[in-house]
Amino acid sequence: MPASPARKARTRAEILDHAARLFRLRGHAGTNIDDIMLAAGLTRGAFYAHFTSKDALFAETVRAGYGLAGRLRAGEVEAVLDEYLDKDALAATARACALAALPGDVARGPLAAQLAYANQLHIAIGELARGRRRKLDADATAAAILAIGAVILARASGDRRLGDWLLRCARRTTKTLLKPPVSRARPKSTSRRKSAAARRPKRAARSRDGRA
């Protein structure tokens, strides 16, 4: 008897979850289909009922939005960034976020994975730009670069003190970048002020001539 659509969807989601965890932990090259299906408690033959290849599955795990993009969608920006850049959570954050864990694998991987990565980065920047005029706001983009880059560098560094410093600097600077923009009164046109000033002496001269 064939599996019901609901059961098939659950099985696919389980494969995707286990694959995402293994890809982030071991990378694309270090993970094979047998590892994924063993972690999911399924046979290799069941894999092809849900995905056409390991590359297709890899792209799908990136597209699923594990990590920063998904957390920003679900929570408040400042709280999410505080947690994301917490030095005590670095190992867990680096393993859980596709944007921080997989840039090298994605760069060497299939085009579908690269496009999925770009889409997740767009989503993260858009969430950081909440309340601003543009979704690709420059300050929000810089904040995304700082947050993701700090996690990548802190994780790669063997120096704990340096890693802590990178995360602390990134946390402080992202808060500065993401402060609500201050609305400023539009200054009067300089040319108008000059023309008004130029007219005043003429009016004064006319009034003196009239009195004379």
170-204 confidence digits (pLDDT tens) = 999 999 999 876 655 555 555 555 555 555 555 55
Tell me how far apart the alpha carbons of residues 1 and 24 are, in angstroms, rounded to a whole number: 35
154-170 confidence digits (pLDDT tens) = 999 989 999 999 999 99
The two tokens of residue 172 are 């402080």
Alpha-carbon 4 to chain mean position: 36
Same domain, 120 and 85: yes
Q: Cβ atoms within 10 A of the Cβ of 54, count?
A: 17
Assess if residue 206 is contained within a domain.
no
Same domain, 97 and 162: yes
Tell me how far apart the alpha carbons of residues 199 and 194 are, in angstroms, rounded to a whole number: 9
Identify the band that residue 76 occupies on the pLDDT scale cut at 50, 70 and 90: very high
**What's the total number of domains in the chain?**
2
CATH number at residue 139: 1.10.357.10
Q: Which domain holds residue 139?
A: 65-177
Tell me how far apart the alpha carbons of residues 26 and 35 are, in angstroms, rounded to a whole number: 11
